[in-house]
Amino acid sequence: MRHNALSLFLGACMPSREATVIATYSRRMRLQFADGEQAFAKIKGKKLRPVCGDRVNAEAIPGEKDWLITSIKDRVNELTRPNMRGKTEVLAANLDLVVVVAAASPNPDWFIVDRYLCAAENMQAAAAVVYNKTDLGSAEQMNDVLETYRQLSYPSIACSATMDDNLDPLAELLEKHTAIIVGQSGVGKSSLINRLSADFNLKTAAVSTKSGEGRHTTVNSTMMFLPNGGAVIDSPGVRDYAPALQTADQVIAGYRDVREFGGDCRFANCRHLREPDCAVKQAVDNGEIDSRRYESYRRTLALTEDINRERY
């Protein structure tokens, strides 16, 4: 009893230190303190749910190497998705750049790319599109799609991690940022990060030859610190993705092209579906909004409404 009381007393006297969560392993985290020191940490209680990028308060645990995360500091923003129960799941926090990766293999799903860009817009974070494995794909198709994003002022880079081709623009894009790299499984997110520094050695795997789909190799989010400043989070790949949004206005805000033309609609609450005098639909008909992007907007809106209907 005396030993337990002493441990509690010493624990209460331990100063709290601020740290950044740089890796997540379920209920165990890896922290980095301001002086560069790193340590593993447990989480106090069941309600705290730190994610990669979180700034937290932590205390040393007497007699143990692990620290104890006691609180999460206010987040600047959150990258979210609805989980299987319709609840909002936070994937990462405090980001100023979201880099969405597609590739020649597996077959690129540009609707997933658009939904990640929609999330970035709602987070008020910058975003970019990277097309990897240019050595495998159709240059014409790739350039057509990337040009659509460039017209929307998203930096768009075509490169090949395997061939070490055109990776300097990616390194320059990431400098000084706290970024996350997201996208389908198998598009080469970890391979791209490995090319950014000789010190990085993330696990990678080839796309399945049977299914043509990517294999999950990243199971935990990990923050890597870049040689020229900044940090990038390698996130697990996805089969699909949707941001956790609650309203049609948030969906509209997530599509730059729809948002831009929507200001000229006849009705202020136009959802750009079947309403009369809709400037967005007119822009699609005139070729000012890419028709696939408009279809992507419609799908994201329908998906958001379906998720919220099930939730409530």
pLDDT in tens, 143-166: 899 999 999 999 999 999 999 999
Q: Is residue 125, in this structure, part of any structural domain at all?
A: yes
68 and 82 assigned to the same domain = no
Provide the pLDDT for residue 141.
76
Alpha carbon of 248 to those of 190, 238, 255, 273, 288: distances in Å?
34, 24, 11, 11, 22
Q: Range of 155's domain?
A: 78-234
Lowest model confidence (mean pLDDT) among 54-58, 201-205, 209-213 = 209-213
Provide the pLDDT for residue 91.
95
221 and 89 assigned to the same domain = yes
24 and 115 assigned to the same domain = no
Provide the pLDDT for residue 84.
77
- Provide the domain count of the chain: 3
63 and 83 assigned to the same domain = no
Provide the pLDDT for residue 100.
98
- For 58-86, b/e burial (b = at least 16 CB within 10 A) is bbbbeeeeebbbeebeeeebbbbbbeeee
Q: Which residue has the higher pLDDT, 215 or 74?
A: 74
Provide the pLDDT for residue 312.
58
Q: Is residue 54, in this structure, part of any structural domain at all?
A: yes
Lowest model confidence (mean pLDDT) among 202-206, 245-249, 277-281 = 202-206
Distance CA(122)–CA(70), nearest Å, equals 29
63 and 194 assigned to the same domain = no
Q: Is the pLDDT of residue 234 over 80?
A: yes
Average pLDDT estimate for 170-190: 95
Tokens for 189?
Answer: 């997110």
88 and 188 assigned to the same domain = yes
Distance CA(107)–CA(303), nearest Å, equals 22
Q: Is residue 272, in this structure, part of any structural domain at all?
A: yes
Tokens for 152?
Answer: 């929307």
Q: Is the pLDDT of residue 10 over 50?
A: no
87 and 197 assigned to the same domain = yes
Q: Is residue 243, in this structure, part of any structural domain at all?
A: no
154 and 293 assigned to the same domain = no
Q: What pLDDT, in 10s, does the model give residues 99-144?
A: 999 999 999 999 999 999 999 999 999 999 999 999 997 777 788 9
Predicted confidence band at 14 (pLDDT cuts at 50, 70, 90)?
low
Q: What pLDDT, in 10s, does the model give residues 88-101?
A: 999 999 999 999 99
Provide the pLDDT for residue 12.
53
Task: Report which residue type is found at 153.
Answer: S
Phi-psi region of 129 (alpha: psi -120 to 50; beta: other; left: phi over 0): beta
Q: Is residue 240, in this structure, part of any structural domain at all?
A: no
CA 9 to centroid of chain Cα atoms: 41
